[in-house]
Structure 1
Amino acid sequence: MKRPAVFFDRDGVLNEDSGYVFEASQLRWIPGAAEAVKAVNRAGYWAFVVTNQSGVARGLYEETHVRALHNHMKKELAKLGAHIDAFEYCPYHPLGSVERYRRVSNRRKPAPGMITDLIHRFQVDARRSFLVGDKQTDLEAARRAGVTGHLFSGVNLEEFVRFLLKLQRN
């Protein structure tokens, strides 16, 4: 049976975007982030993260760093009774300095690949799903995937997501 999902961008939505965050010591949660994820979980939605990580293509860090940070985030969220069902990231960039990551990818936002992959893998009800992002590229990826996109201002993620969940019920 299909379920709706909330697709969260990572940097600037769940955590502060301080430029190429790839270590746990750099992670600063946005106010209300864990509570927002928990609200999504309680509402019966899938909770996903879709994030461009061009720092890999630029040679600033490795994919292992991205996965380690996501594991750290999972553990931090679990302490508060929240969980992300899947983390998706795109390490590619067409101007990357690391040759194996230098390419155009249908998974790099504004392309919809990460979102559409999750929709198919998890049997997501796209009509009832939405994305929360902080850039126009996030919203464009959502639109291309057939999902509603909402631009987050960076103030309090819990309040923003609870409002969106309430809209979905009406």
Structure 2
Amino acid sequence: MKKVVFLDRDGTINIEKSYLHKWEDFEFEKNAIEGLKELKDLGYEFIVVTNQSGIGRGYYTEEDLETLNDRMVTELKKFGIEILECFYCPHHPEKGEGKYKIECDCRKPNPGMLLEGIKKYNVDVNNSFMIGDKKGDLKAGEKASLKSILVLTGYGEKTAANLKEEYPIAKDLLEVAEIIKQIKKTGC
């Protein structure tokens, strides 16, 4: 079984920018690459799970998103970081008509993308994590039986200020690696 860190994309791996879909607007978050390297050294593999309602809203296409994700994966490979897969939910968050305006199981906080990744890649949920900057990321991880960690990048600080539940909190992906080391050492 694989040990996997599931990662939200926008605000976790890259700097949050509304409806990001062009590579020229993409920027890695501070310490994202360093954190991913540390996590890889701890024996983790990576799956990206990202809500992309901009597709459902008609702001960009699935092809635009796939092009951006492919470029991100290619850039990370230059640092020895492999992404198993990028799962995305293209659905508009509100009910309505049309191809993308549906209620779905994949849009976080629903765990659909995570459950698909768990099944497809034979993930050891007891030794895997969900990392993100929004409550929906944390809840999706929880619903998929993963330990969730909040990062303070992206919307993380705003999320932390409004959280009623207890989650480990890291300033960035590099600190996530330190928290996971501590969890592995202490068992909690």
Q: TM-score range by the shorter chain?
A: over 0.9
Give 1:107-146 correspondences, 5 Å limit. 107-146=106-145
1:141 maps to amino acid: A
Aligned-partner Cα distance in 2 for 1:54–1:7? 19
Identify the range of structure 1 (88-97 vs 31-40) with the bigger mean alpha-carbon deviation. Answer: 88-97
Residues 73-100 of structure 1: CA distance to partner in whole angstroms, max 9, x if unpaired?
Answer: 0111112221211110000124378811
Matched with 1:77 is: 76
Q: For 1:137, give the aligned amino acid.
A: G
1:37–1:84 CA contact under 8 A, matched in 2: no
CA contact (8 A) 2:96 2:102 kept: no
Structure 2 match to 1:33: 32
- The yes-or-no answer on 1:162 pairing with 2:177 is yes
Q: What's the counterpart of residue 159 of structure 2?
A: none
Unmatched 5+ stretches in structure 1: none
Q: Report deviation, 1:169.
A: 2.4
- Counting only pairs closer than 5 Å after superposition, residues 5-20 of structure 1 correspond to structure 2 as 5-20=4-19
Counterpart CA distance in 2 for 1:169 and 1:139 is 19
User: When the two structures are superposed, what TM-score results if normalisation uses the length of structure 2?
Assistant: 0.84
Shift of 1:3: 2.0
Aligned length: 168
For the 8 Å contact 1:139–1:151, the answer to whether it is kept is yes
Q: AA paired with 2:104?
A: S
What does 1:38-57 correspond to in 2, within 5 Å? 38-57=37-56
CA distance in 1, matches of 2:44, 2:5: 7
1:22 corresponds to 2:37: no
Name the aligned partner's letter for residue 20 of structure 1.
Answer: Y
Letter in 1 for 2:131: V
Q: What code does the residue aligned with 1:129 have?
A: S
Identity of aligned residues (%): 35
Contact residue 38 and residue 83 of structure 1 kept, 8 A = no
Equivalent residues of 2:12, 2:172 under 8 A apart: no
> Matches of 1:126 and 1:95 in 2, distance apart?
30
Aligned AA for 1:40? L
If asked which structure has higher relative contact order (CA below 8 Å, sep 6+), I would say 1
Gap runs ≥5 in structure 2 = 154-170
**Cα distance in structure 2, aligned partners of 1:40 and 1:162:** 5
CA separation in 1, counterparts of 2:119 and 2:129?
15
Shift of 1:34: 1.4
Summarize deviations over 1:53-111 as a string: whole Å, max 9, x none.
00000000000011101111011111222121111000012437881111011010000
Whether the aligned pair in 2 keeps the contact of 1:59 and 1:98 (CA below 8 Å) is: no
Structure 1's consecutive aligned runs of 4 or more residues displaced over 6 angstroms after TM superposition are: none
Letter in structure 2 aligned against 1:166 = K
